[in-house]
Chain A
Amino acid sequence: MSDIRELYQEVILHHSKSPRNFGSLDDANRHAEGHNPLCGDQLTLGLIVEDGTVREVRFQGEGCAISTASASVMTDLVRGKSEQEVRALSDAFLELITGDAEPDLDALGKLAVFAGAREFPVRVKCATLAWRTLEAALQNDGQAVTTE
């Protein structure tokens, strides 16, 4: 059970049950869709970006606890940040989940709760789906991203 609690920390369970920033964003000027074909997770992200800053962000979709919580925490964190700051955060998160190096948990702040996913390789895609989708939305190339 200890490993399972590492993965399903209270913060993650809380965000998965009551996700923040969940819904559509009518006047969004950046969009992207993400899919995880392996498990059928699907995520739509809408952002309002003005003067290089993320003013508003919302997500919709269907996914497991890890992917839902990841999207919820992410949307909370990136609001008000510059695109540059968002990219740095995204890089740090992906490094936390997929990298070999010991993560700098202090720099990651709230995101550190996802460190448990490192021990569950098949769940890495769940944790990263929202962030990959965010990258696509900021590039705004209109292409759906998939974790495959």
Chain B
Amino acid sequence: MKTETRTSSSFDVEKIRLDFPALHQEVHGKPLVYLDNAATSQKPRAVIDAITHFYERDCANVHRGVHTLSMRATESYEGAREKLKRFLNASSRKEIVFLRGTTEALNLVAQSWARPRLKPGDEIVLSRLEHHSNIVPWQILCEQTGAVLKVVPLNEHGEFELEAYRELLGERTRLVSVAHVSNALGSILPLEQIVADAHRVGAKVAVDGAQAVPHGPVDVQALDVDFYCISSHKMYGPTGIGCLYAKQELLEAMPPYQGGGDMIASVRFEGTTYNELPYKFEAGTPNIAGVIGFGAAVDYLASIDFAAAIEHENSLLEHATDLVGSLPGVRILGTAEHKVSVLSWVMQSAHPHDVGTILDQEGIAVRTGHHCAQPVMERFGVPATVRASFGIYNTHGELEALARGLEQVRKVFS
């Protein structure tokens, strides 16, 4: 997530592209140019194979059965937990809870950590650039507990206003919940300072890390965050799976989020004893194939030169910003000094939705709309933007195709 943009000679994007089967197809007779990675990334062959292998060879339930397939499934499932522990640099595998994704992880923090603790008038601090998934769970929680939300504003570049944040913190602040990276604008938030300031007033910090993990290593211990939530599908893994990292002492003090099988040690009608961490939070048969695919995605990122890949992404961002920004009538939203490879813009001549349709006819996939971040759109006075978001497999040639596509838009709407 560094912002240097020099292109590394050790990075061979064409070789990377060979790992992703979905990239090699035509859409409307044109080569697919997939620039919607912030919505979801494509999956490498290694991830697809890991899932297929599970269903073809090892399919069995986990943590039960003494039979061989169940043991294999359990080994792969718990192996993935170990991989995620290393990926985030958690101090223990007990701190990694598998869930459906970032949204479910944030809801778990709201219901299991915050709900029993927050009193009327307690404060939760969010930022204006949050995805709806880091707003709505807290609004629900506020209705349940009488807690109130405080919102950190953004400056004109789409940057988190640290000074305003510090002023919002106080003795009633119980939790700060922010994105590590904005999905709509790409801004990277100054997490180190955010965490240090929150801890100074005794508040915990929850982080929506969904958009950060595809763009650089994250070390939850170095950041000293209390909760960190991620989704597999944004980092080249399967959909429907993600995880919550939380400090062990917090998880131990929290009641279960859901009840069911696997999360119990013993069940009697007189009372039930919950299972140890992390199983206390994993009720029901989990998404075993998803977890295994998630682990394979972590392995994949470890197998490539990730630092060089991120440098490549940053060079794409710089190039795209120049190309798109130089077109007449274009306004780029989100010009933070520190940002990941996400480019959001509006065009004077055409509504984002029309831009999206015309680009699709050229084989180019971009996201158009409010990006589940309506408060961000409101901040910039637009109902929607066009967003191109770049992954490790995108090329400078694809950016030229994007520029030609936008030229086409101008022709249609001239």
Chain A residues packing against B (C-beta within 8 Å)? 1, 3-5, 7-8, 13, 38-42, 62-66, 68, 120, 122-123, 126
- Looking at the assembled complex, report how far the CB atom of B167 sits from the nearest CB atom of chain A, in whole angstroms: 31
When distances are taken between beta carbons in the complex, the residues of chain A under 8 Å from B351 are 63-65, 68
When distances are taken between beta carbons in the complex, the residues of chain A under 8 Å from B265 are none
B361 within 8 A of A: yes
Q: What 0/1 pattern do residues 345 to 381 of B give for CB contact below 8 A with A?
A: 0000011111001100100000011100010010000
- Looking at the assembled complex, report how far the CB atom of A69 sits from the nearest CB atom of chain B, in whole angstroms: 10
When distances are taken between beta carbons in the complex, the residues of chain B under 8 Å from A13 are 412-413
Closest A residue to B411 by beta carbon equals A1
When distances are taken between beta carbons in the complex, the residues of chain B under 8 Å from A68 are 351
Q: When A and B form their complex, which 8 residue pairs have the shortest distance between CB atoms, in order from nearest?
A: A64-B351, A64-B353, A40-B383, A40-B384, A40-B370, A39-B353, A65-B354, A62-B383
CB within 8 A of A39: which of B28, B369, B412, B413?
B369
Flag if A39 contacts B357 (CB, 8 Å). Answer: no
How many A-B pairs have beta carbons closer than 8 Å: the answer is 52
Q: Give the CA-CA distance A3 to B412 in the complex, in Å.
A: 12
Q: Give the CA-CA distance A120 to B353 in the complex, in Å.
A: 12
When distances are taken between beta carbons in the complex, the residues of chain A under 8 Å from B350 are 65
Interface core residue of A4, A63, A122 (most chain B CB under 10 Å): A4
Q: Give the CA-CA distance A120 to B413 in the complex, in Å.
A: 18
- Looking at the assembled complex, report how far the CB atom of B138 sits from the nearest CB atom of chain A, in whole angstroms: 20
17 contacting pairs across A/B (C-beta < 8 A): A1-B361, A3-B28, A4-B361, A5-B412, A7-B357, A8-B354, A8-B412, A39-B353, A39-B368, A39-B369, A39-B384, A40-B384, A62-B383, A64-B352, A65-B413, A68-B351, A126-B353
CB within 8 A of B383: which of A3, A42, A66, A120?
A42
When distances are taken between beta carbons in the complex, the residues of chain B under 8 Å from A3 are 28, 361
When distances are taken between beta carbons in the complex, the residues of chain B under 8 Å from A39 are 352-353, 368-370, 383-384
Q: Give the CA-CA distance A42 to B374 in the complex, in Å.
A: 13
When distances are taken between beta carbons in the complex, the residues of chain A under 8 Å from B408 are 1, 4
Q: Give the CA-CA distance A126 to B405 in the complex, in Å.
A: 22
- Looking at the assembled complex, report how far the CB atom of A74 sits from the nearest CB atom of chain B, in whole angstroms: 18
Closest A residue to B384 by beta carbon equals A40
When distances are taken between beta carbons in the complex, the residues of chain B under 8 Å from A63 are 351
- Looking at the assembled complex, report how far the CB atom of B414 sits from the nearest CB atom of chain A, in whole angstroms: 9
Flag if B369 contacts A38 (CB, 8 Å). Answer: yes
Q: Give the CA-CA distance A40 to B351 in the complex, in Å.
A: 11
When distances are taken between beta carbons in the complex, the residues of chain B under 8 Å from A62 are 383
Q: Give the CA-CA distance A65 to B414 in the complex, in Å.
A: 13
- CB within 8 Å for A4 and B377 given contacts A39-B369, A65-B350, A120-B357: no
- B306-349 contacts to A, CB under 8 A, are none
CB within 8 A of A4: which of B358, B369, B374, B383?
B358
When distances are taken between beta carbons in the complex, the residues of chain B under 8 Å from A66 are 353-354
Known: A4-B408, A39-B370. 18 other contacts (CB 8 A): A4-B358, A4-B361, A5-B412, A8-B354, A8-B412, A13-B412, A38-B369, A39-B352, A39-B368, A39-B384, A40-B384, A41-B383, A65-B354, A66-B353, A120-B357, A123-B353, A123-B357, A126-B353
When distances are taken between beta carbons in the complex, the residues of chain A under 8 Å from B28 are 3
Closest A residue to B368 by beta carbon equals A39
Interface core residue of B354, B370, B384, B412 (most chain A CB under 10 Å): B354
When distances are taken between beta carbons in the complex, the residues of chain A under 8 Å from B377 are 40
Closest B residue to A63 by beta carbon equals B351
Closest B residue to A17 by beta carbon equals B413
Q: Give the CA-CA distance A39 to B107 in the complex, in Å.
A: 25
Q: Give the CA-CA distance A40 to B377 in the complex, in Å.
A: 10
Closest A residue to B351 by beta carbon equals A64
Q: Give the CA-CA distance A120 to B369 in the complex, in Å.
A: 17
When distances are taken between beta carbons in the complex, the residues of chain A under 8 Å from B370 are 39-40
Q: What 0/1 pattern do residues 392 to 414 of B give for CB contact below 8 A with A?
A: 00000000000000001000110
Q: Give the CA-CA distance A41 to B354 in the complex, in Å.
A: 12
Flag if B412 contacts A4 (CB, 8 Å). Answer: yes
- Looking at the assembled complex, report how far the CB atom of B142 sits from the nearest CB atom of chain A, in whole angstroms: 23
Flag if A64 contacts B354 (CB, 8 Å). Answer: yes
Q: Give the CA-CA distance A66 to B28 in the complex, in Å.
A: 21
Interface core residue of B358, B408, B412 (most chain A CB under 10 Å): B412
When distances are taken between beta carbons in the complex, the residues of chain A under 8 Å from B353 are 39, 41, 64, 66, 123, 126
